[in-house]
Structure 1
Amino acid sequence: MLLALAYAPPASATDARVGRGRTLVQTNCARCHAVGRVGASPLREAPPFRELHTRYPVEDLAESLAEGIRTGHPGMPEFRFDPDQVDALIAYLKSLER
């Protein structure tokens, strides 16, 4: 247990990453997806982000987010994020699992 705590990022760093991820999804994704803990997606085919972890580990999205995610619902634009943005997006998606 102590070993895990020694390697865990400080709560403020984690909170900051989650906040950056939240901003990214609100800016880029909320037009189609429900990006919070409640609510329906504006585009019915776009899954709510709070449910993604029930389909697969959200960490699996990291490569697609960095290389250019092109799949998803019909008409989804291609997004490509830098490594820090990917880290923030994954941190935000993981925060929705709680």
Structure 2
Amino acid sequence: MAHKKVWAAALAALLGGMPAACDEPPSPEERGLAIAREHCASCHAIAADDENALPEAPAFRDLGARYDVGLLEEALAEGIITGHPDMPEVELDPEDIDAFIAYLRSIQAPR
């Protein structure tokens, strides 16, 4: 019985020193997707293959056909404001902006 306790303690010590997969921070793209889900998905198609909830809202996968998505950095830092009342003002911190833009770049449709 004491032998099992020693092995159990050794295994617990070994596993306790190893990072668990769920402890890894999300990639910038994963964080960017989470931001898009929170702030944008109620109107925009935010993935590479979903549909817009609001037909007039541009799909995020098509933004690169209009302009370089990196140009959104300043607008996101200052708070995107549009001429229509349904779009909320969204202001992100620099780390979230980088993650959001990384996500946008990752889903752009080929030109």
Following TM superposition, the consecutive aligned residue runs of length 4 or more in structure 1 with deviations greater than 2 angstroms are none
Q: Aligned equivalents of 1:19 and 1:84: distance in 2?
A: 13
RMSD: 2.0
Identity %: 47
Q: Aligned equivalents of 1:38 and 1:90: distance in 2?
A: 18
Corresponding residue of 1:3: none
> Map of 1:33-48 to 2, 5 A cutoff?
33-48=44-59
Contact residue 45 and residue 73 of structure 1 kept, 8 A: no
In structure 2, the gaps of 5 or more residues are 1-24
The alignment of Structure 1 onto Structure 2 pairs a total of residues equal to: 86
Q: Aligned equivalents of 1:56 and 1:74: distance in 2?
A: 23
User: Quick check: which has more Rg, 1 or 2?
Assistant: 2
**Relative to structure 1, is the Cα distance of residues 30 and 72 closer, same or farther in structure 2, using a 3 angstrom cutoff?**
farther
Corresponding residue of 1:30: 41
Corresponding residue of 1:59: 70
In structure 1, the gaps of 5 or more residues are 1-12
Q: Aligned equivalents of 2:65 and 2:105: distance in 1?
A: 11
Corresponding residue of 1:79: 90
Query: Is the aligned partner of 1:90 residue 2:69?
Result: no
Compute the TM-score of the two structures, normalised by the length of structure 2.
Answer: 0.71
Contact residue 17 and residue 92 of structure 1 kept, 8 A: yes
Residue type of the alignment partner of 1:92: Y
3-state SS in 2 of match to 1:19 = helix
Return the offset for 1:39: 2.2
